[in-house]
Amino acid sequence: MPIITGAKVVVTCPGRNFVTLKIETDQGLYGLGDATLNGRELAVASYLQDHVIEDIWQFLYRGAYWRRGPVTMSAIAAVDTALWDIKAKIAGLPLYQLLGGASRQGVMVYGHANGADIDATIDSARDYQQQGYRAIRLQSGVPGLASAYGVSKDKYFYEPADGDLPRENQWSTERYLRSVPELFERARAILGDDVHLLHDAHHRLSPIEAGRLGRDLEPYRPFWLEDPTPAENQAGFRIIRQHTTTPIAVGEVFNSIWDCKQLIEDQLIDYIRTTVVHAGGITHLRRIADFAALHDVRTGCHGATDLSPVCMGAALHFDLSVPNFGVQEYMRHTPETDAVFPHAYSFADGYLHPGEEPGIGVDIDEAAAAKYPYRRAYLPVNRLEDGTMFNW
């Protein structure tokens, strides 16, 4: 068996910041793990460089006095993913084979259609449909609001962390709740019945407002309504459930099974969005998925651009293997990012496949990474129209 000889942290910014852990062995084999935490990249880099040197998940999790939290769990995830990568490379198998083999032929992904208004959003969705996507997320600008989170200026590439200091967006729940049902009504009429339509509320609603939105969207049969309300108060989701049959997805900001225990146990959600990097790696994500399966909850891993190709590769092996897979988010990375992280995964007919290379099938070109030094970038914050700091 190869012996671990070292670990290094690569921080690079090919258009956006990524933190990657590389664990090296005495036999030239190495494993990679994504450790990117959007807007807090250097905190995880420091955690890895200064505190994490061991290789066992339980030791890292249970041995730490300050357990959980996004920084700790992203660091543990990077170690865990890199070790799975090494193990699969030693076995000479793509990682999904070590996870029990493929449960399906491909991983259904959803793309991001967005636009300044409803027409532009539907145009963008048609474009995705023509490219073969079977599931599409719809986000549109809200009439009367200058900007909206999740709506890109670029047709394909969207980067929410765009300011050296946090940008401020304006928010109006009333305007938003009026505009989304209209978007879905028109989209369903134009795009037809054979495409899954998704929407992300980005934690902007109270439970009762979310219940109303879910109910208003029911005639258009959304695949899911994501992050309707902040999930610190897990019991709040009961109110949403009492008012709508629209499926609910949550969890991109969760980092442990404890964050979703009640939501899953009480069947208050339909999709759990935790993913490899922010939820403790493959090892912990499998535990969450198994727990979810017992309660009829399916997976729907977060896959925005701040989840590096290393995370995407690992997530695809996980997705291919878990029985209760639902969908995988797929926001394409820029050509610069793809060049830093050459990968075996590929898209065809609405599905991604992780490829057959041993390990997770994603590499890092360290010389290319070195050309892009870290640049500070923050996610925006929200204020209501009267300037109140938005509370939800």
Residues that bind Mg ion (CB under 5 A): 200, 252
Give me the least distance between CB of 272 and ligand CS2, in Å please: 13
Between 78 and 304, name the residue whose CB sits nearer to Mg ion.
304
Of 14 and 300, which CB lies nearer to Mg ion in the complex structure?
300
Residue 149 has phi, psi (to 5 degrees) of -65, 140
Interface positions, 45-84, toward ligand CS2 (CB under 6 A): none
What is the closest distance, in whole angstroms, from the C-beta atom of residue 239 to ligand CS2 in the complex? 22
- Paired tokens of 46: 């420091």
| 12, 17, 20, 38: residue in contact with ligand CS2 (rule CB under 6 A) | 38
Active centre residues (catalytic): 149, 202
Figure out which of the listed residues 13, 71, 180, 304 binds ligand CS2, where binding follows CB under 6 A: 304
Q: Provide the token pair at 257.
A: 């099974």
Q: What is the footprint of ligand CS2 within residues 342-371 (CB under 6 A)? A: none
| Contacting range for ligand CS2; rule: CB under 6 A; set: 18-26, 280-288, 302-310, 317-325 | 302-310
Work out whether 159 is an interface residue with ligand CS2 (CB under 6 A).
no
* Backbone angles phi and psi of 372, in degrees to 5: -120, 90
Instruction: Indicate which single residue of 306, 319, 357, 363 sits in contact with ligand CS2 (rule: CB under 6 A).
Output: 306
Token pair 């990097």 is found at 277
Q: Could you give the strand order of the β-sheet that contains 18-25, starting from the edge strand earlier in sequence?
A: 4-12, 18-25, 30-34
Residue among 200 and 216 whose Cβ is closer to Mg ion: 200
Q: Would you say 289 and 296 are in contact if contact means Cβ atoms under 8 Å apart?
A: no
In the complex, minimum distance from the CB of residue 329 to ligand CS2, in angstroms, rounded to a whole number:
6
Strand pairing of 248-250 and 196-200? unpaired
The neighbouring-strand residues paired with 21 are 9, 33
- Give the nearest distance from C-beta 252 to ligand CS2 in angstroms: 6
Structure tokens at 389: 């700091």
252 counts as binding ligand CS2 under rule CB under 6 A: yes
Which of Mg ion, ligand CS2, none does 38 bind, CB closer than 5 to 8 A by kind? ligand CS2
Would you count residue 340 as binding ligand CS2 (CB under 6 A)? no
Residues binding ligand CS2: what is the number (CB under 6 A)?
10
What tokens appear for 248 in the block? 């609910």
Q: Distance (Å, rounded) from C-alpha 241 to C-alpha 229?
A: 12
Q: What angle do CA 289, 214, 322 make, to 5 degrees?
A: 15
DSSP string, 207-260: HHHHHHHHHHHGGG--SEEE--S-SSSGGGHHHHHHH--S-EEE-TT--SHHHH
Residues at the contact surface with ligand CS2, assessed by CB under 6 A: 38, 160, 200, 202, 252, 302, 304, 306, 329, 379
